[in-house]
Amino acid sequence: MEEVAQISDEIPQEELARRKDLSDMTIVTIDGEDAKDLDDAVSIEKQENSGYRLGVHIADVSYYVKENSELDREALRRGTSVYLVDSVVPMLPKKLSNGLCSLNPNKIRLTLSCFMEIDGNGAVLDYSIEETFIKSAARMTYKQVHEILDGDMATRTQFSKLVPTFELMRELSLILRDKRARRGSIDFDFPEPKVITNDEGVAVDIRIAENTIANRIIEEFMLVANETVARHMHSLELPLVYRVHEPPSEEKVQRFVTLVRNLNYKFKAKKDVSPKAMQNLLFKIKDTPHQVLLSTMMLRSLMKARYSHENLGHYGLAAPYYCHFTSPIRRYPDLMVHRILHEWIKGSLDERRIALYTKVTQEAAKHSSDAEVAATDAERQWVDYKACEYMESLVGNEFVGFISSVTSFGLFVQLPNTVEGLVRMVDLADDYYEYDEENMILFGRRTGREYHIGAPMRVRLAKVNKDLGQIDFVPVEATAKYEEVESDDGRKTKKTKKSSGKGQKRRSRKTRRSK
């Protein structure tokens, strides 16, 4: 913080003089309504050859966070910003993340820009990476851009000068998305929760986060910029922190292939399977009864993305080169990518610096991967806590959801708002159920009833534990197996009748349904 206090709010004229001036260009940011760290902006122009000139302009955090400074060491230690439901634990102090580095409208900001010449098929024909400064013309939200492109006259009138820009952006984003689909980039369509809190920070609602054309515009533009930068640095054989996603293991592939074929889908795969084959299967199962099951199991069969100093490609994106270049305010690997790019632009990457970066990128990649896992866990735990906080007042209510996971100890049921709870095996009291691990099914020995991923299920909310982030459901069909009992304080509660010891013992075994 002492270092941050010494940073001037004014950018020296000599620094502006050596950069390319983009302050007169129509450049905008598009983010969520509550975002304050605006680290990416975009511009677009139609070319005479029917192509596009896309500009992706990223906050130049490396100008302020100097190598080996206290700021730099603390940013590396944190590795990433952590986005909780109602707050942010930032990687950088707010003076930088929300102020000097944030691409706020009508403010001169230092940037690193990637310009790409893209044809009508989505191919990047040419590109340049330049040190620049910009003045954002507008701070747009996803909602506003969606309204403009959806024909909302009031919003179109409000931003009339920018309407052609957004229409052009939509046009290019659809081309880029189609190109990714053709090469086999895997796109899952799982709903994400958005927790609504009141002024005291208490969860009052949970909704599905919208994923509109405005979100997809930014997603496609950031993806193509990240790929372009990674391909450029790899071609120069310079050290870099890559974002990698390795192919799934042979064992996981075979388990998934077995499940697919058991459901009578044709799926060609031997020792490995291409991402295009995975994406083709997603197209095939769309809107079928098996969509949730196979999409879920496909995701579980894949490796987790991570950072690496080696270029191992990105399986999920079907991209041979990929890095994170577009979010240096909130991710340390992006900051390091910027630092290396600056030295390449200035021509100062001599053998000594290359040797240093070769070592440093390896260490930063490992630490950033670990920090990302910790941050993701924290974010999920806080969403679970807030989900429990919201559901607490709804104990006793009935809901219709779908089975999102099947285990040897019970079923997880997900509600339409993405809240998930457990139906324990002991509460499936109408039969003795066996667990078929291969096909992810619980099978009733006497009734023949099957519980499988994707099947609808009516449940009652039985219990909520905020501290553990756990929600317990009971199946409505099994309520006949419950009896009301009176507690010491006179309140009526419900409990299950005890099963016989023999039944309890049998339930502890994992068994498979015979074919």
- Summarised one tens digit per residue, pLDDT across range 8-22 is 999 999 999 999 999
**Residue 281 in this model has a pLDDT that exceeds 50:** yes
- Alpha-carbon distance 219 to 30, whole Å? 11
CB 513 within 8 A of CB 440: no
What is the full DSSP assignment across 60-98? Answer: -GGGTS-TTSHHHHHHHHH-B-EE-SS-EE-SS-HIIII
pLDDT at 102 over 60: yes
Kindly tell me the sign of the dihedral angle through the C-alpha atoms of 323, 326, 332, 337.
Answer: positive
pLDDT at 439 over 90: no
To the nearest whole number, what is the mean pLDDT of the chain?
Answer: 90
**What pLDDT is attached to residue 371?**
97
Q: What is the pLDDT of residue 270?
A: 66
pLDDT of 271 reads 67
pLDDT at residue 388 above 50?
yes
Does the pLDDT of residue 82 top 50, yes or no? yes
User: What pLDDT, on the 0 to 100 scale, is given for residue 512?
Assistant: 30
pLDDT of residue 495: 39
Q: Which of 27-36, 209-218, 315-324, 490-499 comes out lowest in average pLDDT?
A: 490-499
DSSP 99: I
pLDDT, mean of residues 285-305: 89
3-state SS, residue 494: strand
- Among 155-169, 386-400, 472-486, the range scoring the smallest mean pLDDT is 472-486
Structure confidence at residue 457 as a pLDDT band (50, 70, 90): very high
Give the integer Cα–Cα distance in Å for 266 and 275.
16
Q: Any bridge partners for residue 403, and if so which?
A: 413
State yes or no: pLDDT of 43 exceeds 70. yes
- Report the predicted TM-score, pTM, of the whole model to 2 decimal places: 0.88
pLDDT of 410 higher than 50: yes
Phi, psi of 244, deg, nearest 5? -120, 150
Segment 273-291 shows an average pLDDT of: 89
| Average confidence (pLDDT) over 63-67 | 97
Of all residues in the chain, the percent with pLDDT exceeding 70 is: 92
Distance between CA 170 and CA 149 in Å, rounded? 8
> What are 61's two structure tokens?
């955090």
Q: What is the pLDDT of residues 120-131, one digit of tens each?
A: 999 999 999 999
Distance CA(216)–CA(176), nearest Å, equals: 10
- What is the per-residue pLDDT for 466? 93
pLDDT in tens, 168-213: 999 999 999 999 999 999 998 788 899 999 999 999 999 998 899 9
CA distances from 405 to 109, 173, 350, 408, 470 (A): 47, 34, 53, 10, 15
Answer yes or no: is pLDDT of 272 > 90: no
How far is the C-alpha of 444 from the C-alpha of 489, rounded, in Å?
A: 38
Q: Are 67 and 187 in contact (CB under 8 A)?
A: no
- Beta strand 482-486 pairing with 420-424: unpaired
